[in-house]
Amino acid sequence: MSGKIVRTATAVAAGLLLTACASTSIPPPTNAVGDAEQALNQAQQAQASQLAAFEFTKAQRKLNQARKLARSDSETERLNARRLAEQAAVDARLAEARARLADTQNRYEQMQDTVESLRQETGLSNGNSGETR
């Protein structure tokens, strides 16, 4: 009798396991796509489309591809969509960082030019302390 119970319990457990595995599906990657969209918006605000165009365009392309694959009934394509969306978010963040760096470098150069102009106006350029004798 106990052998019959063990077999029944094993069969039930196997059935539950198969049901759980069969019902586990990959949902559409809405969170990953949303994160990528937000990252692209932030990159756009940092003028990444002009200052880091390569990375920005790369992120846009990956996000567009992820959106297409996300609508698929194929779990493999939805998984690929999630990966592409995650990559798009990373590319967008890189574009934003490069754009901010380029902006900072431009501002630094402008400040250097302003400082040099002020030095020339006040006679402090080329090691001259501005003292008159």
Q: Which one, of 66, 69, 67, 42, lies nearest residue 55 by Cα?
A: 42
Q: Exposed, middle or buried, 99 (CB in 10 Å: 0-12/13-18/19+)?
A: buried
Q: Which one, of 78, 54, 56, lies nearest residue 67 by Cα?
A: 78
- Amino acid 132: pLDDT: 53
- Amino acid 133: pLDDT: 46
Q: Is the pLDDT of residue 109 over 60?
A: yes
- Amino acid 22: pLDDT: 47
Dist CA 59 CA 63 (whole Å):
6
What average pLDDT does the segment 64-75 reach? 94
Cβ-Cβ contacts under 8 Å for 38 (sequence gap 6 or more):
89
Q: Which one, of 44, 90, 45, lies nearest residue 63 by Cα?
A: 90
Q: Is the pLDDT of residue 21 over 60?
A: no
